Amino acid sequence: MTSIRDIDMSHLVGRDVGNATVLKEIGRGSMALVFEAYQRSLKRKIALKILPKSLMTPVAAERFQLEAEAAAILSHPNIIPIYEVGEGGDYLYMSMQMVQGHDLAEYLERAAKHVVPSKRILPLKATFNIILQVLDALGYAHSQGIIHRDIKPANILIEKYSKRPLISDFGTAKMIKGDEIGAEMILGTPLYMPPEQVSTSEVDGRADIYAVGTLLFQAMVFQLPLPEYDSLISLLKQKQKNRQGIFQKTPSQLNAALNQDMDRIVAKALAYDPKDRFADCAAFAKALKWYRRHYLAEAGN
């Protein structure tokens, strides 16, 4: 079976796609290639996402189209804007802002390799700043009827100079009022996926809250306290079965700088039943701001 790893789209380099000239390939996702391109009309570099038609199962094509439609209607300083969507001879394409910087996954990986053990996680104030902006962006998206459903470090880009986080890849987004794109498919990334997303496609904004809760936990500790598992499928099965959650320790047990009030915040975000989580992103953000006022206002971390 052909995969994105086997696709050669090098023939696009130097050619025009929409109103941009393709410069070079810079990355690959699960079903699309990403190129750096030059937008001639505005004389700027942009990112160009290419979906080869050879990979276009009906679901893949619909997911790509959904990503474009979902992201294109969103206008928020922490969401990457979409410029153009179109179709070429053997591909679909979408152009978007080129972000100068790295994704959050790379920042976390760099921190984990620091020679000083106490520096192997992001500073708490920086973590809160990122998470609060992500919650604000997701709250806005939810208000527009859009759920991301694949929030993870790799989908949060951090601008090099401003350090502003931008959410990318609405490829698994669900438009609440739109058509579902395949109830038989599990969409998302297992570690950040809430239990209900494993067994049903009927999720709401609280699925994103679970993902952000996992992301917050991950950013505050050196290593997430996961149980042993043989495969991602077995991890998903444990999520479905264990109503107490899959994490073996609390944040404060792994990071002495954290208070048990943080344990309660994370536990609420990661509650098995969506009804037990924060009702919305604003409620989650309110709890984090309270914690920041009480425990980080005078702290240097």
* Helix or strand run (H / E) with residue 245: none
Q: Which two tokens stand for residue 82?
A: 């979409």
**CA pair distance 149, 75, nearest whole angstrom:** 18
**CA pair distance 195, 191, nearest whole angstrom:** 10
Catalytic residue ranges: 150
**CA pair distance 72, 34, nearest whole angstrom:** 17
Q: How far is CA 99 from CA 61, 140, 229, in A?
A: 25, 21, 35
Q: How far is CA 2 from CA 25, 34, 51, 52, 272, in A?
A: 19, 18, 13, 11, 37
**CA pair distance 138, 222, nearest whole angstrom:** 26
Q: Where does the chain show beta strands of DSSP type E?
A: 16-17, 20-28, 33-39, 44-52, 82-87, 91-97, 101-103, 146-147, 156-159, 165-167, 174-175
